[in-house]
């Protein structure tokens, strides 16, 4: 028995000594030199299918043509952010590549997950297969891997993050909650659902500002603008600027469906994205004023959102086909002494 205890004590003592030695190592000194490059990290949020990827692919392409060094990161489990940029081709995701490399006992390298076209660098975080994991957790894992690859040392002018705004779990709110970006841009249209998502994002920004966060909303991009004005009215009520209004035009829809970049200098739609690129770079992060549900509904006509419908409470008879028998409670209530 004593020999067993002695054998156990040796590795325990070794472990304690090792931990003490590790704790005694002084951390690297805080950098005091002037920053060599200031990177704007911008998170773009919006309802699924509203046109975030379309907007970002064309915006990042235009920025690169203007001489900026741009990194586009897709943070949507659908992994469709870079598909337009790469002409419909899918690039390997960080989640998928990391799993394969881990099984093979290899390390992930930059060239395994980051690809470029005409000056734009792009990658996809990816996500789990349906029913096999949490998309938000996949986002967190992806950023942890990016940090290991030196994310904070990369010398980009702009890092654009494409986030799905419908999902409200912690992983998708990471840039706002952890101050990982300086500002947020919302993409919406003249419909209630996309503005509901945009308002939720504004609410998240305002919540974390109250908690001491520094992220603000730089503005809104109105996509598929049909001129009805609800998105413009929302931006005004929320106190955020409209950075660009991209019209609902058949030529834009057709070219986007064919994976064509329309934000190229000298083309028909170039001025849209030239202005957007300028506005995105210059717009300061502001503290938004989220709308209440009634205020949001008030942007639309009553016949469009069903505000004339009266909510009628259900009864026990509706649910069970019989009238509920109300019995006296058996609880003893004592009078105050």
If DSSP codes are grouped into helix, strand and coil, which group holds residue 220?
A: strand
Q: Is 116 helix (H, G, I), strand (E, B) or coil?
A: strand
Active site residues: 47, 52, 78, 166
β-strands 115-117, 120-124 pairing: antiparallel
How many C-beta atoms surround the C-beta of residue 153 within 10 A? 7
What pLDDT was estimated at residue 132?
A: 66
Give the residue from 136, 99, 81 showing the smallest Cα distance to 259. Answer: 81
CATH architecture of residue range(s) 40-302:
3-Layer(aba) Sandwich (3.40)
pLDDT one-digit tens code per residue, 92-116:
988 889 889 889 999 999 999 999 9
CB-based burial label for 152 (10 Å; 0-12, 13-18, 19+): exposed
CA-wise closest residue to 196 among 285, 54, 55, 291: 291
What is this structure's pTM?
0.79
| Helix, strand, or coil (residue 1) | coil
What distance in Å separates the CA atoms of residue 53 and residue 83, rounded to the nearest whole number? 8
Q: What CA–CA distances, in Å, run from 337 to 136, 291, 331, 333?
A: 55, 48, 18, 12
Of 196, 235, 185, 232, give the one whose Cα is nearest residue 55. Answer: 185
pLDDT at 248: 95
Three-state SS at 50: coil
Cα gap 207→254, rounded to integer Å:
39
Nearest to 115 by CA among 141, 151, 89: 89
Q: Which of 164, 154, 189 is nearest to 43 (CA)?
A: 164
DSSP 3-state assignment of 140?
A: helix
Nearest to 98 by CA among 78, 127, 129: 127
**pLDDT score, position 33:** 39
> Which residues are CB-contacts of 129 (< 8 A; sequence separation ≥ 6)?
none
Q: Are 218 and 284 in contact (CB under 8 A)?
A: yes
- Non-local (6+) Cβ contacts of 254 within 8 A are none
| DSSP assignment of 167-200 | --STTTTHHHHTT-SSEEEEEE-SSHHHHHHHHH
Residue extents of the structural domains in the chain: 40-302
Q: Is 157 exposed, middle or buried (0-12, 13-18, 19+ CB in 10 A)?
A: middle
User: Structure tokens of 143?
Assistant: 């950023």
> Which pLDDT belongs to residue 303?
62
Q: Which parts of the chain sit beneath pLDDT 50?
A: 27-37
Q: How far apart are CA 171 and CA 203, in angstroms?
A: 16
């Amino acid at each position: 028995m004593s020999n067993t205890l002695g054998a156990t004590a040796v590795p325990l003592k070794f472990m304690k000594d090792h931990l003490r030695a590790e704790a005694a190592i002084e951390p690297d000194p805080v950098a005091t030199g002037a920053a060599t490059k200031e990177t704007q990290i911008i998170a773009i949020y919006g309802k699924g299918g509203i046109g975030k990827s379309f907007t970002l692919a064309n915006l990042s392409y235009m920025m690169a043509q203007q001489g900026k060094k741009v990194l586009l990161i897709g943070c949507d489990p659908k992994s469709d952010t870079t598909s337009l940029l790469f002409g419909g081709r899918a690039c390997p995701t960080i989640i998928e590549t990391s799993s394969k490399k881990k099984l093979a006992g290899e390390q992930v390298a930059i060239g395994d997950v980051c690809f470029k076209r005409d000056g734009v660098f792009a990658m996809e975080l990816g996500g789990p297969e349906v029913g096999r994991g949490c998309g938000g957790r996949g986002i967190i894992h992806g950023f942890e891997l990016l940090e290991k690859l030196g994310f904070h040392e990369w010398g980009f002018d702009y890092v654009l993050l494409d986030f799905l705004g419908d999902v409200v779990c912690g992983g998708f709110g990471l840039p706002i909650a952890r101050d990982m970006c300086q500002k947020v841009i919302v993409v919406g249209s003249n419909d209630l659902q996309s503005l509901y998502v945009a308002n939720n994002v504004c609410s998240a920004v305002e919540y974390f500002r109250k908690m001491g966060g520094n992220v603000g909303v730089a503005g809104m991009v109105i996509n598929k603008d049909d001129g009805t004005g609800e998105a413009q009215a929302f931006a005004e009520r929320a106190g955020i600027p409209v950075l660009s209004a991209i019209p609902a035009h058949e030529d834009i829809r057709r070219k986007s469906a064919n994976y064509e970049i329309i934000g190229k200098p000298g083309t028909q739609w170039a001025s849209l994205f030239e202005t957007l690129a300028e506005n995105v770079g210059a717009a300061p992060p502001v503290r938004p004023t989220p709308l209440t549900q009634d205020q949001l509904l008030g942007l639309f006509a009553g016949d469009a959102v069903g505000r004339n419908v009266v909510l009628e409470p259900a009864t026990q008879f509706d649910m069970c086909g019989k009238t509920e028998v109300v019995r006296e409670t058996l609880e003893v209530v004592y009078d105050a002494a």
